Amino acid sequence: MLNRLLPHPTAPVEKASSVRERQVARNLPFRVRWRRDWQMVVLMIPGVVFLLLFFYVPILGNLVAFQDFQPYLGIMHSEWNGVQNFVNLYANPDFWDALRNTLILALAQLVLFFPVPLALALIVDSLVSNRIRRAFQTIAYLPHFLSWVLVIALFQQSLGGAGFVNNLLRQAGFDPIPFMTNPDTFPLLVVGQLVWKDAGWAMIIFLAALSSVDVALYEAAAADGAGRWRRLWHITLPSMRTVIVLLLILRIGDVLSVGFEQFILQRDSVGPGAAEVLDTFTYYAGVVGGDWSSGAAAGLAKGVISALLLWGANSIAHRLGEPGIFQKRGQS
């Protein structure tokens, strides 16, 4: 939003291009750009070195997806087997189950989890007392720092078959409710755990965005007699549109990584029929089953689907006039 409000410099580029803030840079000869930008290039070096060392070189390891990889032979000496691993994957019903579960759970998270931190942030932002506000934030952020092992242990303790709630139900003469073991309601359980653990923490970015909404707009709106809900609808939400869209895109790109630990810890209680997701599938095939190549193939398939989703979401955002993650300064 902000950069849309900024005046566009209109002075011609040719004038003192090495001094002025960069606008249209594409047409300049390399040498001019280098002289102008070399410090920026220097600043990129650490990051680029990191990316090469810890991402791009190791990612070549994904080539094992096209091999019959054996750790004792290494990547150099394992046999190549073309797309055989992908063919096997395609023919494996467990893979499709895992994909289906992943999508169901991702959708549940997107629809049910995503709005919660936004709603919480709106409520917290509307609090007038700073003390209450701070106290709530302090509490709400805390669970983010607990590990999944512990979160699930706590859920087990309260909602499990022998947990607190079900013991109360039993004493009251009711049948226990299988919160933790019913595969049909598993997506709800997963979202519930996610809300408990991360909704508070996810507020941070929304709160940050809220605090930047131009106060003058509220004042003007209030003076015009706009009520609470109208202000929310016409000022608050539009002001936050960019951040909401950005987070949504990131979330969609990450949609196939629904959370590894959370599922592997609960796979036994609800069964793989509901809790096997792509990441656990990769783990069981690759590490537990010792079939590293199948694992890598599933991982690669996941990456490709994620890329498509991310690209798609970003395009839609662009079409709607949002910058998305490929925001270009010159555009807006």
Partner 1 sequence: MSGFTESRVGRRRFLGLTGAVAGAAAFGPMLTSCGDGGAQGGGAKASGELKLPTYRPFEGFQPDLPGAESGLEPGFLRFPENAIASVQAAPLKNSVSALTETFATPPPPMGSNPMWQALNAALGAELRLTIGTDPGYPEKFATLLASDSLPDLMWLPPNQGIPNIGPMLEAKFQDLTTYLSGDAVLEYPNLAALKPASWRTAVVNGKIWGAPIPSTPFGQVMMGNPKTWAKVGGLQCETADEFFAKCKELSQGTNYALEPAIINMLHMFGEWFGAPTGWRVNQDRSLTHLYETDNYKAAVEYAAKLWAAKVFYPDLNLADATPKTVNGQIAAQVVVGPRATADFRALDPTLFVDTLIPFGHDGKAKPIYDMGYGTVGFTPFKKTDEGRIRELLALMNYLSAPFGTKEFLQKNFGTEGAQYKLDGQKNPVFTPAGTQQGPGLVSALQIMTAPESVIFNPAFPDDTKKIHATEQELLKIAMRNPTAGTYSDTSSKVGPKLTAAFRDTIVDIVTGRQKIDAYDEALRRWKSGGGDKMRGEFEAVLPASVPVTGS
Partner 2 sequence: MSRRPIWKEPAAPGYQTVKAVVLGGFALAIIVPIMVVVSTSLASDQDIIEAGGYVLWPKHPTLKAYDTLFSGGLMGRAIMVSVFVTVVGTAIALATTIALAYATSRPVLFGRPVLLMVLFTLLFAPGIIPMFLMVKQLGLIDSLWSLILPGALGAFNFVVMRTFFMNVPAELLESARIDGASDFTILRRIIIPLSKAVIAVVGLFYAVGFWNAFFNALLYINDTAKWPVQVILRTYVLQGKSLSADQLGVEPLPQPQSLQMAVVVVALVPIAMVYPFLQRHFNKGVITGAIKG
User: Which residues in the 141-160 window bind partner 1 by CB under 8 A?
Assistant: 148-149, 152, 156, 160
Cβ atoms of residues 25 and 330 within 8 Å: no
- Closest approach, Cβ 32 to partner 2, in A, equals 10
Query: Which of partner 1, partner 2, none lies near 72, with the C-beta cut-off 5 to 8 A by kind?
Result: partner 1
Residue numbers 282-311 binding partner 1 by CB under 8 A: 282-285, 287-292
Token pair belonging to 229: 């809900």
Q: Segment contacting partner 1 (CB under 8 A): 2-10, 14-22, 26-34, 272-280? A: 272-280
Residue numbers 280-319 binding partner 2 by CB under 8 A: 287, 292, 296, 299-300, 303, 306-307, 310
Number of residues near partner 2 (by CB under 8 A): 112
Residues 6+ apart with CB under 8 A from 109: 190, 191, 194, 251, 255, 258
Number of residues near partner 1 (by CB under 8 A): 45
Cα R_g (the chain), whole angstroms: 25
Residue tagged 């019903």 (tokens): 93
- Closest approach, Cβ 152 to partner 2, in A, equals 11
Residue numbers 69-108 binding partner 1 by CB under 8 A: 70-75, 94
Instruction: Report the distance separating Cα 135 and Cα 140, nearest Å.
Output: 9
196 binds partner 2 (CB under 8 A): yes
80 binds partner 2 (CB under 8 A): no
Residue numbers 156-185 binding partner 2 by CB under 8 A: 157-158
- Please select the residue that binds partner 1; options are 133, 146, 178, 192, rule is CB under 8 A: 178
- Closest approach, Cβ 105 to partner 1, in A, equals 16
Give the phi and the psi of residue 79 in degrees, each rounded to 5.
Answer: -80, 140
- Please select the residue that binds partner 2; options are 101, 118, 187, 253, rule is CB under 8 A: 253
CA angle 138, 143, 148 (to 5 degrees): 165
Instruction: Report the distance separating Cα 68 and Cα 84, nearest Å.
Output: 9
Please, what is the end-to-end C-alpha distance for the chain in angstroms? Answer: 9
Residue tagged 């709005």 (tokens): 115
CA angle 324, 328, 329 (to 5 degrees): 125
User: Residue 237 in 3-state DSSP?
Assistant: helix
Token pair belonging to 255: 């949609």
Q: Segment contacting partner 2 (CB under 8 A): 20-28, 77-85, 170-178, 266-274? A: 20-28
Residue numbers 46-75 binding partner 1 by CB under 8 A: 70-75
Token pair belonging to 301: 């398939």
- Please select the residue that binds partner 2; options are 13, 104, 112, 146, rule is CB under 8 A: 146
Give the phi and the psi of residue 33 in degrees, each rounded to 5.
Answer: -65, -40
Residues 6+ apart with CB under 8 A from 318: 324, 326
Give the x/- contact pattern for partner 2 in 32-71, rule: CB under 8 A.
Answer: -xx-xxxxxx-xx-xxx-xx-xxxxxxxxxx-x------x
268 binds partner 1 (CB under 8 A): yes
Footprint of partner 1 (CB under 8 A): 70-75, 94, 148-149, 152, 156, 160-163, 166-167, 170, 176, 178, 180-181, 183, 257, 260-261, 264-266, 268-269, 271-273, 279, 282-285, 287-292
